[in-house]
Amino acid sequence: MKLFKPINFVAIFMIALAFSCQPKPNNQETQLETEEINLMLKVEKVAQILDQEIFKYTLDNGNMQVEMSNYGGLISRISVPDKNGKLENIALTLDSIPEFLTKPNPFFGATAGRVANRIGGAKFELNGKTYTLAKNNGENTLHGGLEGFNKKVWDSEPYSNDSIIGVKMTYLSVDGEEGFPGNLTTTLWMELTLDDVLRIRFEAETDQPTLVNLTNHTYFNLSGISGPVTDHVFQFNADAYTPVDEELIPTGEVKDVTGTPFDFREPKILGNQIAANNGGFDHNMVMKLEKSPEFIHFVKVIHPTSGRTMDMFSDNVGVQFYTANFLDGFAGAEGKTYDKYWGFCLESQNWPDAINKSNFPSPILNPGEKYKHVIEYKFGVEK
């Protein structure tokens, strides 16, 4: 791997890999027909905050592109082809990375932490001590507080091998930041594979008992952001969900999806389920009842008109399913106005407000332990 040090504000660098793939012997293994595969990673310095440099990274595997930044561990664009080969962005975003520094937005593409989702009452108890947090979502704390991981500049470096291009990012959240105890070191890898998988990996370690719940908050719209996602078809591998109160804090109940609008175990048109629920979704869909390293194919999404598909895999215990209920006339990229239901989020994470629910999987990380979390989004087309 060769790392590049920026020279000036507009410096642009590229890592390009091209190699020939020889067909495998005629045996039980699948033969690889591709003669040449091109991977490209472009790095551009786009801003600076004091002595912290902010970069835009563009990952290209020859079929799709992913744009990301070390500001907020951000995914700002995902461009994938439709069934006719038309390449379009499918992630709600702003026109440029620098806009994210100054224009308020609802966590488009951001890394959410130190604790993603909501903590009820903006407080929790840990080892007999009560910690009070910022109230940035009514009476509650949302996505890490006033300045969560989505507003931090991460140390970053690109990397590559014969089949992957990516960016490694690290951030030290110091003891007391946003009210959380312990110095927490988080490492984030975001990478693109040859078979159109966007993989996100988290690891974190602490020097004091603390809370950790990390996720990515990309809003997807497989139509190329041409309208609401109500025409998308969803299928979840979820037998249960966690109901919420009027402030979207889980009640503590774990409810069977049978007979409810949350039953996506067979493919369902999203608009029909939204109507059945008398509104959109902002709920935790249960993947597992307890933590384990098992990697699960949890969600499949299809946009019938474009043919685009997205499959989500994760090793975590839940996925927050959010249908952009609070978007209202937001001025997004390319002159588009994002309205209600114009995107959906699949936020792989621990269950919300878990620290205040004794029957929920614990979000506590202790010294000597390592938090690990992997998410994969695989893109494709159905003709």
Burial of 163 (0-12, 13-18, 19+ CB in 10 A): middle
**Would you call 217 a catalytic residue per the annotation?**
yes
Give the separation between CA 240 and CA 234, rounded to whole angstroms: 16
Give the separation between CA 352 and CA 94, rounded to whole angstroms: 27
Give the separation between CA 337 and CA 182, rounded to whole angstroms: 41
Q: Decide if 11 contacts 1 (C-beta within 8 A).
A: no
Give the separation between CA 2 and CA 14, rounded to whole angstroms: 11
List the catalytic residue out of 44, 67, 191, 347: 347
**Would you call 373 a catalytic residue per the annotation?**
no
List the catalytic residue out of 53, 177, 205, 217: 217
Pairing of strands 296-302, 308-314: antiparallel
- Number of Cβ atoms within 10 Å of the Cβ of 187: 16
> What does each C-alpha distance from 308 to 81, 176, 212, 224, 230 come to in angstroms?
7, 44, 33, 9, 15
- Active-site annotation, residues: 217, 347
